[in-house]
Homo-oligomer: A and B are copies of this chain.
Amino acid sequence: MTDAMHISASLEDYIEAIFHIVAEKQAAKPRDLAERMKVAGSSVTGALRMLAEKALINYTPYDIITLTPAGKAYAEDVVHRHEALRDFFVKVLAVDYKAADEAACGMEHSVSKVILERLVRFAEFVEVRPRGGEDWLSGFRHHCERNTIMKMSELKPGDKGVITAVAAQGEIGQRLVDMGMVKGTPFKVLRKAPLGDPIEIQIRGFLLALRKQEAECVSVEKKAGK
């Protein structure tokens, strides 16, 4: 038996879903899969045929679906990758469960063995050594919530922040102040043209378009977050 069996990300999703459905209710039916994976029934049929061809599932038309031993092993591997990633995101990176699970779902097909092993070890290490570890990790969590000082021109659409300083004199400085760009004012970046010029922001309820040159003069504290 060749051990280097590998299937597409899509088929991994199917086999993972089958694994979970079988765990819940003995056997899976195409309907369950279509619902869970949000695809049309006919797509499921195609996927099932491919999995059956690779001897990972027991499948005959109109019959229930179960995993072969090889399929179960494969599914367990996928589930392991998923859970290891999720655990790492939750325990180490302090991401909330739901977001962590979704992220794991997206990445589970591309993590390499080496990285996965290290991530598992890391999460394990954090659990095993709560003394220095917890302190250190809570330091990280705090660091995560810290906001970052940067130039307004470096922000991206969707970013929010507060103005911390306006470093411009003369005409530009005057114009910025006229527009209400003063210390302490919260704002949000709406859009940014291809080269960052102009950059459109929402401030005090108004929409404002700034030249790149102007935005570069404004120091802001970027709100941390998604």
Contact = CB atoms under 8 A, between A and B. Distances in A.
Nearest to A112: B103
Contacts of A93: 115, 118-119, 122
A129 B92 CA distance: 17
Give chain A's interface secondary structure class.
helix
Contacts of A92: 122
B143 A139 contact: no
A157 interface: yes
Interface string A109-129: 111111101110110110011
A73 interface: yes
A193 interface: yes
A208 interface: no
A215 to B, nearest CB: 16
A51 to B, nearest CB: 15
Nearest to A88: B115
A140 B112 contact: no
A49 interface: no
